[in-house]
Amino acid sequence: MASVVLVLWGAATLAFVAFRIIPGDPVDVMLGPQAQVSDAVKAGIRSDLGLDRPVLEQYAAFLGRLVRGDLGESYQLRLPVTEVIGRQLGPTLQLTGLALVIALLLALATALLVRGRRGRAVASGVELVVLSSPVFWTGLVLLSVFSFQLGWFPVSGGRDAASLVLPSVTLALPVAALLSQVLRDGIEAAEREPFLLTVRARGATPRRETLRHTLRHAGAGGVTLAAYLVGSLLGGAVLVETVFARPGIGRVTLAAITDRDLPVITGVILLSALVFVVVNTLVDLVVPLIDPRLRVAEPALRARAGVPA
């Protein structure tokens, strides 16, 4: 719980500090280069925003508003930041959610189905190429082949399920490649362990061997990495949403960066921090279920509760 507060507070503070060292006057940035505004009006805006008060007071006020869930108003759209982000959250959640599912399925399938030295060497080569290709290029190639040449999927935009497939696959591929690499490393390490000899001696089929034993061995590392990668999906969404001309948080982020819309950027930073916190809490709950070795951390507590270690 303490680390949750620390990450969110740290993120907010970094955002606050970063935007105080930003070159140029915030009011000029906010109004844009074309604005013809007198100095008196600028001074009025400055005092409205509290920019004429001491920095520490501004910081306290900023944190106070955050605690109440008030992220301020977008400079460009003149809407509350929570509304700007909230409205675009749906499409991005669909995109990243489906991408995560595809990535997990692909990685698990590769781990389960690819066996033997040769097969693993091929898989590892494919993963290297996928990881080395820029995600926006993969997207363009998929779009070019499956939408323009074959006509299987709609080209862009749209809110129907079919238009979600290509963007999700694009976003999922590098995640799947990284995950399957880590899973395979874990499985190979487990195959060198003496316990596997026992498993094989008991006559376990290769499938059971992987499913029940080696994959589980690799699983804890896989889940931890998957959690880290969930965050990276948000970064990837900026590129994928641009390539496929989809609405979403990525587009909001990019627009906010080009327009220097600082309140929106702060909102995105906090959203990302929130995702990190939520996902890591989930991981701490899930990993002990997969890897029993991590459950014996508090043997005394368990003994008292009557749970066998």
Partner 1 sequence: MTVLARRTRPGHTVALSISGAVLAAIALAAIAPDLLATHDPLLTDVRSALQPPSSAHWFGTDQSGRDVYSRVVFGAGRSVGIGLLATGLALFVGVIAGSLSAVSPRGVDAAAMRVVDVLSAFPEFLVALLVVAVLGPGPTNIAVAVTIAAVPVYIRLARAQTRSLAATEHVEAARIIGVPALVVHLRHVLPGVLGAVSVLATIGIGTSILAAAGLSFLGLGPTEPTAEWGLMLSAGRNLLLQAPWVAVFPGLAITATVVSVSVIGRIVRARSEERGA
In the complex, least distance from residue 137 CB atom to partner 1, rounded to whole angstroms: 3
In the complex, least distance from residue 231 CB atom to partner 1, rounded to whole angstroms: 4
**Cβ(135)–Cβ(171) below 8 Å:** yes
Q: Angle 117-118-123 (CA atoms, 0-180°, nearest 5)?
A: 100
In the complex, least distance from residue 242 CB atom to partner 1, rounded to whole angstroms: 6
Which is closer to partner 1, CB of 21 or CB of 161?
Answer: 21
Which is closer to partner 1, CB of 190 or CB of 227?
Answer: 227
DSSP 139: H
**Cβ(87)–Cβ(159) below 8 Å:** no
Q: Angle 152-156-157 (CA atoms, 0-180°, nearest 5)?
A: 130
Which is closer to partner 1, CB of 112 or CB of 156?
Answer: 156
**Cβ(170)–Cβ(139) below 8 Å:** yes
**Cβ(287)–Cβ(223) below 8 Å:** yes
- Cα dihedral across residues 255, 257, 258, 259: positive or negative: positive
> Site residues (CB under 8 A) for partner 1?
6-7, 10-11, 14, 18-19, 21-23, 121, 128-129, 131-137, 140-141, 143-144, 148, 231-236, 238-239, 242-243, 253-254, 256-258, 260, 262, 265, 268-269, 272-273, 276
In the complex, least distance from residue 308 CB atom to partner 1, rounded to whole angstroms: 36
In the complex, least distance from residue 250 CB atom to partner 1, rounded to whole angstroms: 10
Helix (H) or strand (E) holding 39: helix 39-49
Query: Which residues is 80 bridged to in the sheet?
Result: 73
Coil, strand or helix: which one is 1? coil
Helix (H) or strand (E) holding 106: helix 81-113
Query: Which residues is 73 bridged to in the sheet?
Result: 80
Which is closer to partner 1, CB of 218 or CB of 277?
Answer: 277
In the complex, least distance from residue 303 CB atom to partner 1, rounded to whole angstroms: 33
Which tokens go with 69?
A: 């869930």
Residue 275 CB contacts under 8 Å (≥ 6 apart), including other chains = 230, 231, 234
In the complex, least distance from residue 18 CB atom to partner 1, rounded to whole angstroms: 5
Which is closer to partner 1, CB of 111 or CB of 256?
Answer: 256
Which is closer to partner 1, CB of 224 or CB of 232?
Answer: 232
Which is closer to partner 1, CB of 254 or CB of 290?
Answer: 254
